[in-house]
């Protein structure tokens, strides 16, 4: 069974209401491959979720950029999975490297978040990836496997999980993992899933690439056998996001 191409746009902490309306307008008018070829999810900041949800075309979906690790309560500043479900937001991004690095979210904490969000009915884009120091030390796969294991230890059903491999050294730096580097890690990650979870999960789980993806490099990256799409940062705020969505055509033609 072919894995459906997946393109996520992570808007991070950017935008005013006016800017968000412009981005949504561009997306609404875009000619892109149909839903059976590509699944498109955009992730605005929390405060704009209802605005985007109510104005975005219905073949594109909306994700939150994070949610709390358990049920709501006395957790000032946090947003619970239940609240996202209540707003009819289907997806959430968890374990992004910025949260791991800046907010000290551990592998175990991210694993707990993924399990809780799934239990509430959300679909999860779970991020993994190594720093430049870790890559240069040759420990890329150890790091990525440990991050994935913390999720695998807590999750039994993978049908609503997309893994985003995001080498930290490539996020927002303009440095991109070469198509061969991306394919190598995705292939290793799939082998890890086959060995440690199941062959079926390895074959069906989408592993997407994130890290300075743009209109110029998306086709070659997307053409790699084990790259099932992208999680796009800065470029998802620009019209070239449409070109990145269209990169799904490279898989359709193979």
186 is catalytic: no
CA angle 162, 85, 123 (to 5 degrees): 10
Q: Which helix (H) or strand (E) holds 95?
A: none
Catalytic residue among 98, 134, 166, 186: 166
Catalytic residue among 39, 96, 105, 186: 96
Residue 10 above 90 pLDDT?
Answer: yes
Phi, psi for residue 165 in degrees, rounded to 5: -85, 115
Mean pLDDT in residue range 140-152: 98
Residue 127 above 70 pLDDT?
Answer: yes
Structure confidence by residue, pLDDT tens digits, 188-216: 999 999 999 999 999 999 999 999 899 99
CA distance 155 to 114: 8
Strands (E), the chain: 5-10, 38-43, 60-64, 91-94, 123-128, 161-165, 206-209, 229-232
Task: Say which DSSP state 177 is in.
Answer: -
Task: Say which DSSP state 206 is in.
Answer: E
The pLDDT value given to residue 126: 98
**Position with higher pLDDT, 171 vs 198:** 198
Task: Name the nearest CA neighbour of 5 among 237, 233, 207.
Answer: 207
The pLDDT value given to residue 253: 64
Structure confidence by residue, pLDDT tens digits, 23-69: 999 999 999 999 999 999 999 999 999 999 999 999 999 999 999 99
Residue 123 above 70 pLDDT?
Answer: yes
The pLDDT value given to residue 173: 81
The pLDDT value given to residue 171: 81
Give me the half-sphere count of Cα atoms (radius 13 Å) on the Cβ side of residue 191: 7
Residue 223 above 80 pLDDT?
Answer: yes
**DSSP states of 22-59:** HHHHHHHH-----TTTEEEEEE--GGGHHHHHHHS-TT
Residue 121 above 90 pLDDT?
Answer: yes
The pLDDT value given to residue 254: 58
């Amino acid at each position: 069974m072919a894995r459906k191409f997946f393109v996520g746009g992570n808007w991070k902490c950017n935008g005013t209401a006016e800017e968000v309306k412009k981005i949504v307008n561009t997306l609404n008018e875009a000619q892109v491959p149909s839903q059976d070829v590509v699944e498109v999810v955009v992730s605005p900041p929390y405060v704009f979720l209802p605005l985007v949800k109510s104005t975005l075309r219905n073949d594109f979906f909306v994700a939150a950029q994070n949610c709390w690790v358990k049920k709501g309560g006395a957790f000032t500043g946090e947003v619970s999975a239940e609240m996202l479900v209540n707003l009819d937001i289907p997806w959430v991004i968890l374990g992004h490297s910025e949260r791991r690095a800046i907010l000290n979210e551990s592998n175990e904490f991210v694993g707990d978040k993924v399990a809780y969000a799934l239990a509430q009915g959300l679909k999860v884009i779970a991020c993994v990836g190594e720093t430049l120091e870790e890559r240069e030390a040759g420990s890329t796969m150890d790091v990525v496997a440990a991050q994935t294991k913390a999720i695998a230890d807590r999750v039994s059903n993978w049908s609503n999980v997309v893994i985003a491999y995001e080498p930290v050294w490539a996020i927002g730096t303009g440095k991109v993992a070469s198509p061969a580097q991306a394919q190598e890690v995705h292939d290793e990650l799939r082998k890890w899933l086959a060995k440690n979870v199941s062959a079926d999960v390895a074959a069906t789980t989408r592993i997407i690439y994130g890290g300075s993806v743009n209109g110029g490099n998306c086709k070659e990256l997307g053409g790699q056998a084990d790259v099932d799409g992208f999680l796009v940062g800065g470029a998802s705020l620009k019209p070239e996001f449409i070109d990145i969505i269209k990169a799904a055509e490279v898989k359709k033609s193979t």
